[in-house]
């Protein structure tokens, strides 16, 4: 296929079935490999849409500068989009941002500005955002997408990701598992699918220690997942179930999916697949569960896939599929303090996609 520029090549990522991590009696689990987008992650979808909409509205004019605070993937995406469309890009990163991400941002010709001062909780997210806001005020003809509050973020997933799922699975989608961050995925996909398939379960996955969708603030090793606050883009009305995934389960899933399925996933992708495997057990055979995998493992080879790093961080990995499934038995749909009450899983005869909508 031919494209006028790299931005037009975004989307159309493959949906790949898991074959060796599921068991008889489980629903089929599909993994949407967003790492195969140009830019290497799911974040390029909202990056393109937010910039295109800013161009249309006049918020971003020729020769302007895109300014944003990001722990990695959106920064890479905006840097790629900016390079392709002729904009300067300034990304606020922090000491936890993977070196791969910083180097890639710079590789696209963008400025990666390090924010070293953490807040009183030892977190960097709010200081990064404040630094980006100051820079956007100081730089003439600048535009800050503000991924957490920008409605063009979830709209990108409603108009592309959700449409691709429906097309690829012929409209038979029983559950979709999305990780949180700016909450664009879960809100956008959830809104679009609920309009067509009201019985489709939308499952949100956060990291333990994140407060994006409720839960106590704490520390976690997962990057690119979670938030120190609830983003404005989070719509609790489209979420049926929520889970808080631990580091050990996410990283173990990454390694097992790589060794058993040949897919190298990032940490947040591991969390999504782990919870999707749990949902597949609860739903049972004859259903389809989709895990949105935000990025790949190539940028985490020195962390998640490093035995030395795992030992240094004191993470106890689950060595095999049986161990992972045993750990998943402790995971139940958990309501957050700010979320609506959970409905029960629909009965098998009522949950087949297409029958209710």
Identify whether the C-beta of residue 302 lies closer than 8 Å to the C-beta of residue 349: no
Estimate to the nearest angstrom the gap between the alpha carbon of 155 and the chain centroid.
15
Residue 252 annotated in active site: no
337 contacts: CB under 8 Å, gap ≥ 6: 214, 215
Active site includes 32? Answer: no
For residue 185 the two structure tokens come to 């995925």
Q: Which of 122, 104, 49 is nearest to 91 (CA)?
A: 104
- Whether 213 and 178 have beta carbons less than 8 Å apart is answered as no
Instruction: Give the integer Cα–Cα distance in Å for 269 and 324.
Output: 15
Tell the burial category of 48 from Cβ atoms under 10 Å away from its Cβ (0-12, 13-18, 19+): buried
First to last CA, the chain: 35
- Kindly state the tokens that stand for 265: 């996933």
What value does the CA radius of gyration of the chain take, rounded to a whole number of Å?
Answer: 19
Closest CA to 6 of 32, 44, 33: 44
Beta-strand runs (E) in 148-287: 175-179, 201-207, 241-245
Q: Indicate which residue of 32, 43, 90, 123 is catalytic.
A: 43
Under 8 Å between Cβ of 94 and 131: no
Residue of 35, 181, 268, 288 marked catalytic = 268
Catalytic residue annotation: 43, 268
């Amino acid at each position: 296929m031919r494209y006028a520029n790299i931005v037009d090549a975004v989307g159309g990522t493959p949906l790949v079935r898991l074959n060796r991590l599921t068991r008889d009696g489980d629903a089929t689990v599909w993994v949407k490999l967003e790492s195969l987008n140009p830019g290497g992650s799911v974040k390029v979808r909202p990056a393109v849409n937010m910039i295109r909409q800013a161009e249309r509205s006049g918020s971003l004019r020729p020769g302007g500068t895109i300014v944003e605070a990001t722990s990695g993937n959106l920064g890479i995406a905006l840097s790629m989009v900016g390079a392709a469309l002729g904009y300067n890009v300034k990304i606020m990163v922090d000491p936890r941002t993977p070196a791969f991400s910083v180097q890639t941002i710079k590789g696209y010709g963008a400025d990666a500005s390090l924010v070293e001062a953490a807040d009183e909780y030892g977190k960097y997210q709010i200081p990064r955002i404040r630094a980006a806001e100051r820079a956007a005020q100081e730089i003439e003809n600048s535009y800050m997408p503000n991924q957490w509050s920008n409605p063009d973020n979830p709209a990108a997933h409603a108009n592309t990701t959700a449409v691709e799922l429906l097309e690829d699975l012929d409209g038979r989608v029983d559950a979709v598992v999305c990780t949180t961050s700016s909450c664009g995925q879960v809100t956008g996909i959830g809104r679009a699918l609920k309009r067509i398939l009201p019985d489709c379960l939308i499952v949100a996955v956060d990291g333990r220690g994140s407060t994006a969708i409720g839960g106590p603030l704490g520390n976690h090793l997962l990057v690119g997942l979670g938030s120190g606050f609830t983003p404005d883009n989070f719509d609790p009305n489209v979420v049926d179930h929520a889970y808080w995934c631990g580091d050990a389960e996410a990283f173990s899933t990454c390694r097992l999916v790589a060794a058993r399925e040949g897919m190298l996933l990032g940490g947040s992708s591991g969390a999504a697949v782990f919870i999707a495997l749990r949902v597949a057990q609860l739903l049972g055979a004859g259903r389809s569960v989709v895990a949105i995998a935000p990025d790949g493992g190539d940028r985490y080879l020195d962390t998640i896939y490093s035995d030395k790093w795992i030992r240094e961080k004191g993470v106890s990995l689950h060595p095999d599929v049986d161990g992972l499934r045993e750990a998943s038995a402790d995971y139940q749909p958990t309501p957050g303090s700010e979320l609506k009450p959970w409905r029960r899983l629909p009965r098998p005869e009522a949950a087949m996609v297409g029958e209710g909508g």
